[in-house]
Amino acid sequence: MAHPKRKTSKTRRDKRRTHYKATPATLSTCSNCGAAVKYHRVCPECGHYRGKLAVDKDVSA
Amino acid sequence: MRHRKGFNHLGRTNTHRKAMLSNMASSLILQKRITTTTAKAKALRSYIEPLITKSKNDTTHSRRVVFSYLRNKYALSELFREISPKVIQRPGGYTRILKTGNRLGDNAEMCIIELVDYNENMLDDKPAKGKSTRRRRGSGKKKTGEASAATAVAAGTEDATPAETAEEKEAGEENAETEVQEESKGEAKTSEEKPETEVKEEPEAEKKATEGKAEAKEKEEKKEGDKAADKEEDKKE
Ligand SMILES: [Zn+2]
């Protein structure tokens, strides 16, 4: 079996990792309160989903 | 390769997984809404929906079958007494999964799984939607019973007079066209007398026409028109 001849130096490792980038989350705005919401998620601020009250924050904690 | 990976094992042995799903199903039945991870909720959904369907037929056998899955007599009685009459009209899809974001600690995707008929806020005009099928083909049980009579009549005429068909086809089609026009007028007026007269005209057309398909279409259109008229009447009331 083939083996690496040298340990990968910190420089080589870090240079490889320069292309690892986080992608920003795609957000929409809540139709009820206008907060930024991830798609297909209940609004974390007001508990609305698709224009209706899905999760009542006061009742279900 | 995803060969032989039919379902999510949830990182558990068979017995562990079954015990967990059984407990979760009992909790969901008793509480109507539980917060869990999305993966578990999806596994629970496919576990509990057949049980709810089973509960629509309240017999000793079905109770025993469901109990073998739930292993909780309180959940069992709650399911058969309270939940099953409430969901009797619903053709499957008794649960709803609402994703609520990721959990602190392990960043697991969390959700709320709930029984659809117990969330008052999300309910709306769904019962009306459920009745009217949106399928174009494969007519439901209601229609087949009524339509079978028409097809039977048409089939009888086919067997009896195959030679005469060609001329009478055209006549029947013409009748059909005129009838359709009448229907459109009738729908606009939404009078109760129109549908009755049309029904009387139908049998004659059936005898003449050989193609049952055209007739069935007409009938369906009429039914829809009648339904629309009925709905409007309901609204007036
Ligand atoms: Zn909101």
Q: How far is the CA of A38 from the centre of ligand 1 (A)?
A: 11
| Predicted confidence band of residue B229 (pLDDT cuts 50, 70, 90) | low
> Would you say residue B222 lies in a domain?
no
Across the interface, whether the CB atoms of A55 and B100 are under 8 A apart is answered yes
> Would you say residue B207 lies in a domain?
no
pLDDT in tens, B159-199: 444 444 444 444 444 454 444 444 444 444 444 444 444 44
Phi then psi for B190, rounded to 5 degrees? 55, 45
- The 3-class SS string of B125-182 reads CHHHHHHCCCCCCCCCHHHHHHHHHHHHHHHHHHHHCCCCHHHHHHHHHHHHHHHHHH
- Minimal CA–CA distance to A41: which of B94, B111, B116? B111
> Which pLDDT does position B34 carry in this prediction?
95
Of how many residues is chain B composed? Answer: 237
> Would you say residue B20 lies in a domain?
yes
Task: Name the residue among A41, A44, A60 with its Cβ closest to that of B33.
Answer: A60
What residues of A are in contact with residue B119 (Cβ under 8 Å)?
Answer: 54
> Which pLDDT does position A13 carry in this prediction?
97
Mean of pLDDT values over B226-236? 54
Mean of pLDDT values over B91-95? 95
Mean of pLDDT values over B126-149? 51
Q: What is the pTM of this model?
A: 0.60
> Which pLDDT does position A50 carry in this prediction?
87
Higher pLDDT, B169 or B94: B94
- Strand, helix or coil for residue A28: strand
> Would you say residue B101 lies in a domain?
yes
Considering only CB atoms, which residues of chain B are within 8 Å of chain A?
Answer: 33, 35, 98-101, 112, 119, 121-122, 124
A52–chain B Cβ distance below 8 A for any pair: yes
How far is residue B105 CA from its own chain's centroid? 41
> Would you say residue B89 lies in a domain?
yes
> Which pLDDT does position B166 carry in this prediction?
45
Is the pLDDT at B1 greater than 70? The verdict is yes
Residue of A28, A42, A52, A55 to mutate, testing the B interface (most B Cβ within 10 Å of its Cβ):
A55
Mean pLDDT of chain B: 73
A21–chain B Cβ distance below 8 A for any pair: no
Distance from CA of B23 to the nearest CA of A (A): 20
> Would you say residue B208 lies in a domain?
no
CATH code (residue B22): 3.90.1030.10
Higher pLDDT, B194 or B62: B62
> Would you say residue B225 lies in a domain?
no
| Rg of chain A, C-alpha, whole Å | 22
Strand partners, A38: A27
* Structural domain boundaries in chain A: 26-61
> Which pLDDT does position B220 carry in this prediction?
55
Question: Of the given ranges (B12-21, B96-105, B203-212, B226-235), which has the lowest mean pLDDT?
Answer: B203-212
ipTM of the complex: 0.80
- Minimal CA–CA distance to B83: which of B113, B43, B48? B48
| Predicted confidence band of residue A19 (pLDDT cuts 50, 70, 90) | very high
Higher pLDDT, B17 or A61: B17
Domain count, chain B: 1
Q: How far is the CA of B49 from the centre of ligand 1 (A)?
A: 30
Task: Name the residue among A44, A52, A60 with its Cβ closest to that of B122.
Answer: A52
| Rg of chain B, C-alpha, whole Å | 26
Q: Which protein residues have their CB within 5 A of the ion that is ligand 1?
A: A 30, 32-33, 35, 43, 45-46, 48
**Residue B87: domain span:** 14-125
Is the pLDDT at A28 greater than 70? The verdict is yes
User: Hey, what amino acid is at A51?
Assistant: G
